[in-house]
Amino acid sequence: MSHQHITTGKWLIPALLVAIGFAIVWSSQSLASDKDAEIRDTILRQIEAFANDDQEQAWAYASEGIKRRFGSSQVFVDMVREAYPAVHNATAIEFTQRVPHGAFEIQVVRLQGPEGKRWDAYYRMVLTEGAWKVAGVRLQPAELGI
C-alpha cells in the first residue's frame, strides 16, 4: 500500500488571502450598489407619484422631518408644485453621483423641468427603519458643459 503525500506549497496561503480579499471587495461593492439602487428607487417612485398626482404616495417617501415641517401631504405637494416644478413635473431624469455624509447620503440627480431647463437636484436621503426617505432637495441650474 502506498501513501500519497500532498504538498500545498507556499502559494496556498497567499492565494487564499487574495481570494478572501476579492470576496470582501465584491460584497462591499454589492452592498454599495444595493444602497444605490434603493436610494434611486425611492427618488424615482416619489417623482412618479408627483407625476401621477398621487400626493399620499409622494408623502410616503418623505422623511419624518419633512412631514413635521409641512404637516400634511396636501401642503407638501402644493409646496413642491410651486417651488420645485422640475421635481414635480420632471421630463427627464439622470442619476449622476452619490456622496456619503455619515448619517445621510446626497444623491445628485440631473432633471429636466417641464420648460426644458436642466437642473441639478441634490437629494438628501436618510435611512429610517430600513427604508430610504427624502429629507430635502436643493435645486440649482445644471452646468451646460462644453
pLDDT confidence of residue 50: 96
In sign, the C-alpha dihedral spanning 92, 135, 66, 59 is positive
DSSP 8-state assignment for residue 62: B
Domains identified in the chain and CATH numbers: 12-141 (3.10.450.50)
Q: Which helix (H) or strand (E) holds 99?
A: strand 92-100
What are phi and psi for residue 83, nearest 5 degrees?
Answer: -90, -25
Q: pLDDT below 50 — which residues of the chain? A: 5-8, 11-30, 146
pLDDT confidence of residue 91: 94
Q: Using one digit for the tens of pLDDT, what is the confidence trace for 17-46?
A: 344 444 443 444 445 579 999 999 999 999
**Amino acid found at 25:** V
CA neighbours closer than 13 Å in the CB half-sphere of residue 56: 0
For the stretch 99-107, contacts whose Cβ atoms lie closer than 8 Å and that sit 24 or more positions apart, written own/partner, are: 104/135, 105/35, 105/39, 105/132, 107/39, 107/40, 107/43
pLDDT confidence of residue 101: 87
